């Protein structure tokens, strides 16, 4: 298939259209190159790498160096896909100056097309500073994994009217600050629907129901590769964890049975050269 990288104006232009766009994660060039062969419009180099790649218990330990290096790899693997670089915990919540400096690194060194950061009204001033500096910003509200401890864990947000109103205020603040889209995670579908109808920028749902302008999933979740837990909002389109286990078990057994490697996997030698060995 022929694929052309989308732009921020294109993504914003799909707001409210029948066209729904998509975002999934990648952390290396190999997986990115696979995604680049599909119609998926955007790739998130997410701090979810902390749990998926590095085995951390949360996203909090992920560093700027890790984000930048993984973003470089993904950009090389998927030159025709819009790349979102996640801003890790501690890279934007110390000062605006730090936020601008670190976002510049993700764009300049990593090669990302935009950055994503968590937070609503409390981070609107940071979003505004980044946008004023020429950096496209994707917001992220609802369940914000970096601060899940403050939220009581990985739980649905906005379940009562007051909490839902707060989320709507957060979304409005991000839009006003200049974010071109906002990820809405683990929010009741009716709340996400109201947000989608009110905002002029696209909502990107993950566990937020069917009415958002876009849908997001972690690739390792949707492919059934990550098996420590499966969030309620994840649909597994494959069971690759078991497929990989079966393949590795087959390799092990064939080595024991001496059926691998066979002649078709081995290199020969000219007869005259073989004779010279003896």
Q: What is the pLDDT of residue 135?
A: 98
CATH topology of domain 8-242: TIM Barrel (3.20.20)
Helix (H, G, I), strand (E, B) or coil at 118: coil
Q: What is the pLDDT of residue 5?
A: 97
- Minimal CA–CA distance to 13: which of 23, 3, 21, 1? 21
pLDDT for 217-256, tens place per residue?
A: 999 999 999 877 788 899 999 999 999 999 999 999 999 9
Q: What is the pLDDT of residue 158?
A: 86
Environment class of 89 (CB within 10 Å of its CB; exposed 0-12, middle 13-18, buried 19+)? buried
Cα distances from 180 to residues 139, 154, 176, in angstroms, run: 8, 26, 10
pLDDT for 162-185, tens place per residue?
A: 999 999 999 999 999 999 999 999
Residue ranges per structural domain of the chain:
8-242
Q: What is the pLDDT of residue 160?
A: 93
Cα distances from 82 to residues 30, 67, 71, 112, 261, in angstroms, run: 16, 16, 12, 8, 41
Q: What is the pLDDT of residue 153?
A: 61
Q: What is the pLDDT of residue 169?
A: 98
Q: What is the pLDDT of residue 154?
A: 66
In this prediction, the residues of the chain whose per-residue pLDDT falls under 50 are: none
Q: What is the pLDDT of residue 1?
A: 73
Distance, in Å, from the CA atom of 180 to the CA atom of 178, rounded to the nearest integer, reads: 6
Q: Which of 97, 175, 185, 254 is catalytic?
A: 185
Active-site residue, 185 included: yes
């Amino acid at each position: 298939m022929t694929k052309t990288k989308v732009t921020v104006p294109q993504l914003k232009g799909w707001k409210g259209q029948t066209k729904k766009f998509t975002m999934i994660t990648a952390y290396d060039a190999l997986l990115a190159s696979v995604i680049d062969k599909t119609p998926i419009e955007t790739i998130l180099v997410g701090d979810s790498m902390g749990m998926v790649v590095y085995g951390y218990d949360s996203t909090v330990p992920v560093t700027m160096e890790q984000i930048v290096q993984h973003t470089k790899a993904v950009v090389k693997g998927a030159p025709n896909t819009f790349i979102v670089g996640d801003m890790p915990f501690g890279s934007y919540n110390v000062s605006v100056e730090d936020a601008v400096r670190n976002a510049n690194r993700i764009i300049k060194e990593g090669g990302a097309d935009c950055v994503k950061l968590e937070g609503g009204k409390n981070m609107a001033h940071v979003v505004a500073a980044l946008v004023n500096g020429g950096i496209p910003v994707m917001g992220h509200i609802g369940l914000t994994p970096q601060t899940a401890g403050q939220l009581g864990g990985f739980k649905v947000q906005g379940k009562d009217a007051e909490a839902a109103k707060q989320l709507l205020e957060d979304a409005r603040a991000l839009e006003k600050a200049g974010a071109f889209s906002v990820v809405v995670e683990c929010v009741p579908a009716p709340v996400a629907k109201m947000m989608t109808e009110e905002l002029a920028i696209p909502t990107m749902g993950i566990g937020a129901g069917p009415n958002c302008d876009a849908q997001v999933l972690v690739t390792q979740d949707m492919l059934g590769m990550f098996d420590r837990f499966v969030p309620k909002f994840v649909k597994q389109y494959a069971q690759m964890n078991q497929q990989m286990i079966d393949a590795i078990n087959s390799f092990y057994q064939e080595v024991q049975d001496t059926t691998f490697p066979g002649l078709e996997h081995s290199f020969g030698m000219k007869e005259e050269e073989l004779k010279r060995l003896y």
